[in-house]
Amino acid sequence: MSSDFRIFGSELSPYSVKVRSYFRYKGLPHQWIPRSPAVQGEFQKYAKLPLVPLVVTPDGVGIQDSTPIIEQLEARHPDPSIVPVDPTLAFLSALLEEYGDEWGNKWMFHYRWFYQADAWATAERIALQMMGAKGPLAVAEARTAVAERMTGRLGFVGSSDKTRPTIEASFKQVLVLLEAHLAKRPYLLGGRPAMADLGLWGQLYEAATDPTPGAVMRASSPSVMAWVQRMVSPAAQGPFEPWDALAPTLVPLLQKEVGGLFLPWSAANEAAIARDDNTFETSLGDTGWSQTPQKYHARSLAEIRRKYKAAAAVPGLTAILEQTGCLKYLAE
Ligand SMILES: N[C@@H](CCC(=O)N[C@@H](CS)C(=O)NCC(=O)O)C(=O)O
């Protein structure tokens, strides 16, 4: 049996490239296996859900869902750690990872499938990965099918004519906030990558490869683009920084984005699931939001609350969460 891990993934999947960058940083031997019909039999042997990434360990165990994948591997291969020793930073890193995975996915998915130029370009890349071996006609047919299927899923992440201004304003806002933060350091928490980088980066890496959001990023955010490039194969350049050094440019991100948009959205989504509603309406910032609830997200919100409960006694953490408007959503 091979001593390598196998990652079944896609270059177009933010959660797959997130896991691949983790493996590269840790120096864990692995094979990257693009998902296609040719590997479907092997994929199905180990996958419980039809989702990538799927990691198969050298002893033949399949693991899915990027956050648990990374947490399980981190427990077994602690060095170099992507979790800061300071428990305040460790929690904020997990919170930012969750924000990237869940809210950042809205920017990525919206821009990718809302605009025709992006939908067409991405559908072409997916079709080539899936059907490239079968020739141009199979690729052309797959491209149309992928574009139709994915455009039809825009509502699942909450993208619509109504929510478009909020999603796009948040994307542009986060670029401004990250540009200020990353102008002074290579990674979000200082000299080395953390969970926070992995979650946010997966989404922004994908956005950078799509025509519309990629053009916005290249025109406005050179430090973010340098980080996007760095995170493809991250390397430690120094230690994590202390909170006091990070705070001036990280507090605005936590306040405006995590406490201002992501967590209020999470709470409204959770309340709708509890009521068994088919749709929910809320206001985020200055605009209205409506969508079908996202069931998976209620589970990951519960998980981030569990992490907060475990860290709540850490001196200073609660004050940061209070200051940034996050506490009321986490301390329930
Ligand atoms: N929460 C999961 C999300 C995984 C996920 O949504 N994967 C998508 C691609 S990004 C997928 O496999 N979708 C099914 C498909 O494209 O056929 C994770 O973090 O791994």
Query: 263 to each of 49, 229, 239, 279, 327, how far by Cα in Å?
Result: 27, 28, 29, 18, 10
- The helix or strand, by DSSP H or E, that contains position 287, with its residue range, turns out to be strand 287-291
Determine the atom of ligand 1 nearest the C-alpha atom of 69. Answer: 20
Distance 304 CA to ligand 1 centre (A): 20
Residue 37 DSSP label: G
Q: Which CATH architecture has domain 5-76?
A: 3-Layer(aba) Sandwich (3.40)
DSSP notation for 50-117: S-S-EEE-TTS-EEESHHHHHHHHHHH--SS-SS-SSHHHHHHHHHHHHHIIIIIHHHHHHHHHHSHH
CB atoms within 10 A of CB 288: 13
What is the pTM assigned to this prediction? 0.98
14 lines ligand 1 (CB under 6 A): yes
318 lines ligand 1 (CB under 6 A): no
In total, the chain counts a number of residues equal to 332
Quote the distance between the C-alpha of residue 128 and its chain's center: 24
Pocket test for ligand 1, best of 7, 12, 13, 131 (most atoms within 8 A of CB): 13
105 lines ligand 1 (CB under 6 A): no
Residue 83 DSSP label: S
13 lines ligand 1 (CB under 6 A): yes
- How does residue 285 score in pLDDT terms, banded at 50, 70 and 90? confident
Q: Which amino acid is at 92?
A: L
pLDDT at 255 over 70: yes
Residue boundaries of the structural domains of the chain: 5-76, 87-112+157-330
97 lines ligand 1 (CB under 6 A): no
Determine the atom of ligand 1 nearest the C-alpha atom of 296. Answer: 1
Determine the atom of ligand 1 nearest the C-alpha atom of 67. Answer: 19
pLDDT at 27 over 70: yes
CB atoms within 10 A of CB 58: 14
Q: Give the CA angle between residues 49, 52, 55 to the nearest 5°.
A: 90
pLDDT for the residue 332: 76
pLDDT per residue over 91-149, tens digit each? 999 999 999 999 999 999 999 999 999 999 999 999 999 999 999 999 999 999 999 99
